[in-house]
Every structure is written in C-alpha cells, then in structure tokens.
Amino acid sequence: MYPFPKMIEWLKKMFGKFGLIFALLFIFALFAVIAPESFSSRRSIETMTRQMAITGVAALGMTLIIILGGIDLSIGSVVALTTVIIAIVLRGFTGDGHSAEMYDIQVGSGAVVIALIFGGGAAAIVGFLNGVLITRLRVVPFIVTLGMLLIVRGVAKGLAHEQKVDAPTSLLNSLLAPNDGFMSHGVIVMLVLAILVSILLTYPRLGRQIYAIGSNELTARLCGVMVERTKLIVYTLASFSVGIAGTLQFSRLTVGDPTVAGGLELDVIAAVVIGGGSLSGGEGSVLGTMVGVAIITVIRTGCSHMGLPNWVQEIITGCIIVSAVAIDRIRHRRAA
C-alpha cells in the first residue's frame, strides 16, 4: 500500500524514540511563525538557554529521584537557602561592609570557592536528611520533602532575617550573564551535568540499581541491591545538584533571597514528567528531562514575546503537561 514500507516503519520508530524532540521543534516552529520575529533571533535563543539553566540543573537531580520512584518537593526552598548561604559567606569576606556599598566591593575567587562549598554542602545536607528520614522512619517521600519544603524555607528566612542579603560582587555574578562568544557559563554547567547524570544512569552499577529500585523495590532487595543506601545517595546527590541550581539562581539575582524559587519544584516535576518520567518510578531519562525543560521555556518565552499575559502561559503549560503524559500513556498501552 505504501510506496516505502521500510521507510514508514523507520519513521515510526524514529518518532517513538525522538517524538518529544519533534514536539519541541514543532512548538518552536509554531511560535517562530506566530510570534514576532524577535522570538527566533539568535539573541532570543541564547536568552532561552540561559533561562533553562536553573530549572534544568534542578531537574537533573529530580530525574534521578523520580526514576528511583521518589519525589522531592523541597527543591525550591533549597535553592533559596543556597542563595542566602552563598550571600552570607561572601559578605563574611568583606569585613563589616554596609549593605549600601556592598556592590562596590569585589571579592576574590577564594571567597567564591568557600561560599560554594557552604552553599552546595547545605543543599547536600538537606538531601541527606531527606534520605535518612525516608529510609529510617519509613515515611513516604512526599510527606518528608513536603515537611522539608517548609523547614528549609523557614531556615532560609531565619538566616536572612526575612530580607534580601546583599552580597559583594564576585565572578559568580557573571555565570548567567549573556555571552556573545559561545554560551554562558551557566549553560555549560548545565550541559556538562546533563552528560554526567546521563552517564551515571547508563554505565555505573548505581544507575542500573536506581532503575531497578524504581521499577520494583522488592525485586531490587531480593537481588541484593542495598536499597536504603542507594536512596540515601540519590537524595543527597540530587539535592546537591539543586545546590548548583541555587548557585545559578544567586548569580542571576546577585543577592541572597530567602523567598526566591517558590514553586520551582512544580516546574521541575513537570519537566521530568513531560520528558517521559513516571511518578511510579522506573522510567525517565536525562534527554527527556532536558527536552521537557526546553519545551516549558520555549512556551514561556514565546508567550511573552507575543505579549500574552502570564495567566495564558500557565494555562498552556498545564495543558502541555497533561497531554504529554496522556500521549505517553497511550503509546505505552499500544506497545503492551
């Protein structure tokens, strides 16, 4: 019936594999046609990649957790905590500067390294605590991390005395600055992390075990996988990656803000789920997640270029989430 049955078959296979990328390209093309020309300019695309960075980095950690069959609702708060801690540590290197002139002071890379250690460390500790509570107390991740969302947000506000923490100027400030040369450093950080996480999921034992636990925890236990230890590692690693997202957030704000990134967890979960992650575990991929983040970003940017109000963007994003998952389910059912 078809002139090239093999080619049709091949196309079907490709579509099954890269359907999501086609969807991204389609959405992009759609906006390129209907939105003002400024949307598809090089500059605009460069901006979009920078806007992806924070959500993207946080989503990499969440991908691990969701494949494991867990969830982490505390990541927005962890991002806020990280910005606050970085700001406070950097301030410590200025002597006792008054906040009015804080911007004029420059601190060196030694200070930055120490600030990053503290910021990333704090984030990792939150993840470790999540892991301990989930594995030792056997409370479901949803509840543990919901509690942690409030606790960490509270700690961040307490540390910052409920206001923004001004920080001295440092090389952190330029991480997410527009870069005419190649890519902004923050985007490079995201891509390198994506490759690392992707390798982690494919080649090391840990990766296979993460999939196994998410697919069937009992089987993993039966096969001698150290389920508790693996969970602890994954929650800690994931939260550390959220710490990196927090660093990028700080770089964009240039101050520590205890109220920033409220609801980031929802964007991140949405991205992972659009990318084929299953909330019941065992499914998900780095490529999918990154495309998911890109889809959300393209829709936001496209809508704002068209001058559509925020509420329209929200409705569209919501529809995309539900339909992406629905399409994925239908495909699964057909395959079964």
Partner 1 sequence: MNSIEPRLEMTGISKRFDQTLALDNVNLSVSAGEVLALMGENGAGKSTLMKVLSGVFPPDNGTILLDKKKYCPTSPLEARKRGIAMIYQELSLAPHLSIEDNISLGDEPTSWGLVRRQTMRKTAKDALKLMGHFEIDPRRRVDTLSVGMQQIVEIARAMAFGCKVLVFDEPTSSLSQEDVKRLFTLIRHLRSSAHSIIYISHFIEEVKEIADRFTVLRDGKSVASGNIRDVSKEQIATLMVGRDISELYPHSTHTSSDVLLELDGLNGIEKPKNANFTLRRGEVVGIAGLVGSGRTEFARTIFGLDPIASGNIRVGTLKGTATPQSRWRQGVGMVSENRKSEGLAISLTVADNITLPNLTKYGRFGFVSPKAMNQASSEWIRRLEIKTRTPVQQVIDLSGGNQQKVAIARLLESDVDLLLLDEPTRGIDVASKAMIYDIIDKLVLKNKAILFISSYLPELFGVCDRIAVMCRGRLGQACPVSELSEHDVMLAATGASI
Instruction: Select from 147, 151, 175, 149 the least CA-distant residue to 86.
Output: 175
Q: Which of 223, 322, 327, 330 binds partner 1 (CB under 8 A)?
A: 223
Q: Which of 225, 272, 290, 298 binds partner 1 (CB under 8 A)?
A: 225
255 SS3 class:
strand
Question: Ramachandran region of residue 236, left (φ > 0), alpha (ψ -120 to 50) or beta?
Answer: alpha
Return the number of the residue (147 or 207) whose C-beta is nearest partner 1.
Answer: 207
> Is 235 near partner 1 (CB under 8 A)?
no
Return the number of the residue (306 or 325) whose C-beta is nearest partner 1.
Answer: 325
Q: How many residues bind partner 1 (CB under 8 A)?
A: 23
| CA dist., res. 14 & res. 88, Å (int) | 50
Of residues 273-312, those binding partner 1 (CB under 8 A):
282-283
> Is 15 near partner 1 (CB under 8 A)?
no
Question: Ramachandran region of residue 228, left (φ > 0), alpha (ψ -120 to 50) or beta?
Answer: alpha
Q: Which of 1, 33, 137, 222 binds partner 1 (CB under 8 A)?
A: 222
Contact criterion met (CB below 8 Å) for 73 and 268: no
Cα–Cα–Cα angle for 3, 27, 290, rounded to 5 degrees: 100
> Is 219 near partner 1 (CB under 8 A)?
yes
Q: Which of 203, 314, 318, 327 binds partner 1 (CB under 8 A)?
A: 203
Measured from the CB of residue 69, what is the shortest distance to partner 1 in angstroms?
11
> Is 17 near partner 1 (CB under 8 A)?
no
Return the number of the residue (188 or 206) whose C-beta is nearest partner 1.
Answer: 206
117 SS3 class:
helix
> Is 216 near partner 1 (CB under 8 A)?
yes
Contact criterion met (CB below 8 Å) for 83 and 250: yes
CA distances in angstroms from 174 to 12, 88, 107, 117, 263, listed in the order given: 44, 18, 13, 19, 25
Q: Which of 215, 279, 325, 331 binds partner 1 (CB under 8 A)?
A: 215
Number of Cβ atoms within 10 Å of the Cβ of 136? 10
Q: Which of 99, 106, 109, 202 binds partner 1 (CB under 8 A)?
A: 202
Measured from the CB of residue 213, what is the shortest distance to partner 1 in angstroms?
9
Give the binding site for partner 1 (CB under 8 A). 202-206, 208-209, 211-212, 215-216, 218-226, 282-283, 336
